[in-house]
Structure 1
Amino acid sequence: MANQPKLFTPGPVDVFEETLAALGNPVPYMMHPEWLAAQAETGQMLKRVFQTENSVFVATSPGSGAIETGVASLFQAGDRVVAVRNGMFAERLIQILNAYRCEVIAVEGPWGRAIDLDRVADILRQRPDIDGIAVVGNETGTGVRNPIRELAQMAHERDAPIFVDAVSGMGGYEIPTDKWGFDVVATSSNKALEMAPGLGIISANARAWEIVERKTPTAHRGWYYNLHTWREALERPAFPFPTTPATTNIAGLHASLKRILEVETLEGHWARYAWAQRVVRTGMAAIGFETLAPDAVASPTVSTFCKHPALGAIEELRDYLRDQHNTLISTSGGPLLGQVARISHMGKAGTQEYVVPLLLAVEEFLRTQKGIAVPLGASLVGLEAEARWY
């Protein structure tokens, strides 16, 4: 785009220069030794981000493709799957489970709140015959983190697997796959891994592979969205991919992961996101916006704000920022349609170069469009408490 806007959208995100440079290089050939070495290193770096010793597979697909791969490989028709239902992407996960003819046992919760573990426990007492638990770890539509560690414990107490949709969480805060016992975890390239869209990423542990191997031969798994296909390809040195991989995108992911792990460090990456979350949430609250998610479960990757009392609709703010400041934020869907604004902290949106102008632009909107006497800089109050800026 000739006049690229600043992205505060929760995917895609504005990526850093190292990644853009890698994406702008000539298209790599998938069997060239240099690219194969970078591809292998990408897999090792992803293991560090996932905090796992499991194999990690990178597919040409959106995050939803990785989710479908996990569901199709872990569950089969008739399986009784407890699914957390408290947001827009929880609804999508349930749609995928239904598409594979699972018996979905939904645990309902209000949008904007983490799921109540007591409700989950009640369901599990009523249904001791479950075949697994499925959960969106970080609800992008509401800015809420669900208690995935505790849910994994509940699943394993019943010798059942847990599937975690970590599309907007992985990389943005600590998600220790092995330590917390997640059987299958799915994510994508275009959120907290700070790359362009196009790559679905999935890991599976030994328990998951045992389940995959003992599934009935008639279980509908498909071919591409099937962990069997990916593992067989990985074990074939002559061509270790099921299909031609998205070589340019993987080169971009390689560059992004090198930046995260070697320039920022993984802990530093998490710290930057947490910093941006605190500064934006504090600043927006200081000028009259209510946060949707309570602090204790607020996502470090995206924050959701209820509309200001002076606004007729949240779209007024979205459109002003787009038209006057070439800055894009998101609204939400479902019962939150027209009610909330979503502001991402991923990619460059998690830097002072982006955060400070955004907050000042929101102030300007309230002053010039709504006649509210917001003191200049009132939204920057959160910066005063920070020992470090990013």
Structure 2
Amino acid sequence: MFSEKMDLRLPGPVQVPREIQRAILRSFDHPMMDYRNEEHQEILKEAAEAAKKVFQTKNDVYILCGSGASALETAMVNLVGPSDTILICVIGYFGDYLVDIAEHIGVNVIRVDAPWGEIVDPRDVKKALEQHPEIKAVFATHCETSTGAINNIKELGSIVRQFDAVFVADAVSSIVGTPLYMDDWGIDIVATGGQKALMLPPGNALVAVSDKAWGVIDNHKCPSFYLDLKKYRELLPKGHTPYTPNIALVNGLLESCRMIERGGGIEAAYKRHACLRDMTRSGVRALGLELLVDDSAASPTLTSVVFDRMDSDSLRKLMREQFHVAVGGGLGKQKGKLLRLGHMGYTDAADILKMFAALELGLTKVGFNVQLGAGVSAAQKYWLENPYC
């Protein structure tokens, strides 16, 4: 009876609002839209223009078919090649992911690491840049999805601006959900995907590029045929992409940007996500569970809960099967040791309360002594005192 019922409280993908579903479905009205016709050209240009507010930039935003990973690879292959050196800030699984992309390309990587659950010290980045003037680009994950920690992108941007290097932010699980001001913070490339706080199904990659970054890109031969940003720059003013676009998701992106505006704009989205984070952290503490990340670095889009007294995936399975609530698990060396609770995108206070009700029952079912209602009550109390959710 409930085979298709599932409440996604994941670090992505997320619930897709009905408004966006309808925008996507309109793409399949007959006859099928010709992506070279004027109607789609205008939709693509409008979506790319609307996305500028999401990125907090005056720079163009390019829409590619692909996941967030393709956006990250696009940023890298357009800037550097095997003879180049880059610095990567690594604070978890997706920092290592960036290293994997770089090593596949053959780029020389200098790492600045912090333990999982912590963030890099900007002073270490400055020291590395001073010691290695050959560094061509600095890559940093904004929100590390494996831990729920937020790097200090603003401070990192102010440091990288003092050098010739280009600054690239992986904003896959941060865009819309936490403050990110591309132009004001001196970020040269922001790369993201649509399946997180933008509320889309997976399949859209978005990349915004500064003038400083274009100065490097224009003097670099991109080895990828499909991901060459110069081709996208040439065609965007005409409402085209070099290759077949995902018509449905372009329509969905435009509706997502419109929904954000109707909801009070990007600043209101930042406040809502911060409130949902603090509701969640209040509930976790009330249940006596340990948070992986300190308050000062906690992401507004997901919260990681240490759960190593048993395999966390067993609890997740129970919650999916009995309560139709899906939460995330640990990745890499944290597999089976974390619960990652998503609170991004199309999420409100009632979603958080439902998640805690299911979590409390799940904990009880697997043998943990928790006070039923404690997490829900703490989250409710936070919401009543801080009505921004």
| Structure 2: segments with no counterpart, 5+ residues | none
Q: Once structures 1 and 2 are overlaid, which stretch shifts more, 19-28 or 153-162?
A: 19-28
Secondary structure, aligned partner of 1:114 = coil
Q: How much is the aligned-residue C-alpha RMSD, in angstroms?
A: 1.8
| Closer, same or farther: CA 369–389 of 1 in aligned 2, 3 Å | farther
Contact 1:166 1:185 (8 Å CA) reproduced: yes
- Which deviations, in whole Å up to 9, do the C-alpha atoms of 1:129-150 show, x marking residues without a partner? 3212111111001101111122
Secondary structure, aligned partner of 2:168 = strand
Structure 1 runs of 4+ aligned residues shifted over 4 Å read none
| Closer, same or farther: CA 99–9 of 1 in aligned 2, 3 Å | same
Q: Which residue of 1 aligns with 2:223?
A: 221
Q: Which residue of 2 aligns with 1:318?
A: 316
Q: Which residue of 1 aligns with 2:9?
A: 8
Give the Cα separation in 1 of the matches to 2:388 and 2:169: 32
Tell me which of 233, 236, 243 is aligned to 1:234.
236
| Structure 1: segments with no counterpart, 5+ residues | none
Q: Which residue of 2 aligns with 1:169?
A: 174
Q: Which residue of 2 aligns with 1:259?
A: 259
The yes-or-no answer on 1:303 pairing with 2:303 is yes
Q: Once structures 1 and 2 are overlaid, which stretch shifts more, 372-381 or 201-210?
A: 372-381
**What's the CA shift for 1:56?**
0.6
The yes-or-no answer on 1:184 pairing with 2:189 is yes
The one-letter amino acid paired with 1:260 is I
The yes-or-no answer on 1:41 pairing with 2:39 is no
The one-letter amino acid paired with 2:184 is K
**What's the CA shift for 1:100?**
2.0
Q: Which residue of 2 aligns with 1:102?
A: 107
Q: Which residue of 2 aligns with 1:344?
A: 342
Give the Cα separation in 2 of the matches to 1:248 and 1:107: 39
Contact 1:138 1:299 (8 Å CA) reproduced: yes
Contact 1:329 1:342 (8 Å CA) reproduced: yes
**What's the CA shift for 1:315?**
1.7
Q: Which residue of 2 aligns with 1:277?
A: 277
Secondary structure, aligned partner of 2:273 = helix
Give the Cα separation in 1 of the matches to 2:44 and 2:340: 34
Give the Cα separation in 1 of the matches to 2:368 and 2:249: 46
Q: Which residue of 2 aligns with 1:55?
A: 60
**What's the CA shift for 1:371?**
5.0
Q: Which residue of 2 aligns with 1:286?
A: 286
The yes-or-no answer on 1:361 pairing with 2:358 is yes
Contact 1:234 1:240 (8 Å CA) reproduced: yes
Tell me which of 66, 82, 89 is aligned to 2:87.
82
**What's the CA shift for 1:264?**
3.8
**What's the CA shift for 1:307?**
0.9
**What's the CA shift for 1:379?**
3.5
Give the Cα separation in 1 of the matches to 2:349 and 2:58: 35
The yes-or-no answer on 1:203 pairing with 2:202 is no
- Which deviations, in whole Å up to 9, do the C-alpha atoms of 1:260-305 show, x marking residues without a partner? 1123422221122111111111101110111101111111111101
The yes-or-no answer on 1:194 pairing with 2:199 is yes
| Closer, same or farther: CA 49–26 of 1 in aligned 2, 3 Å | closer
Percent identity, aligned pairs only, is: 28
Give the Cα separation in 2 of the matches to 1:315 and 1:179: 41
**What's the CA shift for 1:183?**
0.8
Q: Which residue of 1 aligns with 2:129?
A: 124
Contact 1:145 1:297 (8 Å CA) reproduced: yes
How many aligned residue pairs are there? 382
Q: Which residue of 2 aligns with 1:335?
A: 333
Give the Cα separation in 2 of the matches to 1:148 and 1:69: 20
- Which deviations, in whole Å up to 9, do the C-alpha atoms of 1:51-77 show, x marking residues without a partner? 111111000111111111110111122
**What's the CA shift for 1:113?**
0.4
Contact 2:282 2:375 (8 Å CA) reproduced: no
Secondary structure, aligned partner of 2:35 = coil
Contact 2:177 2:345 (8 Å CA) reproduced: no
Contact 1:100 1:220 (8 Å CA) reproduced: no
Q: Once structures 1 and 2 are overlaid, which stretch shifts more, 50-59 or 257-266?
A: 257-266
Under a length normalisation based on structure 1, what TM-score does the superposition of the two structures give? Answer: 0.93
Secondary structure, aligned partner of 1:195 = coil
**What's the CA shift for 1:13?**
0.3
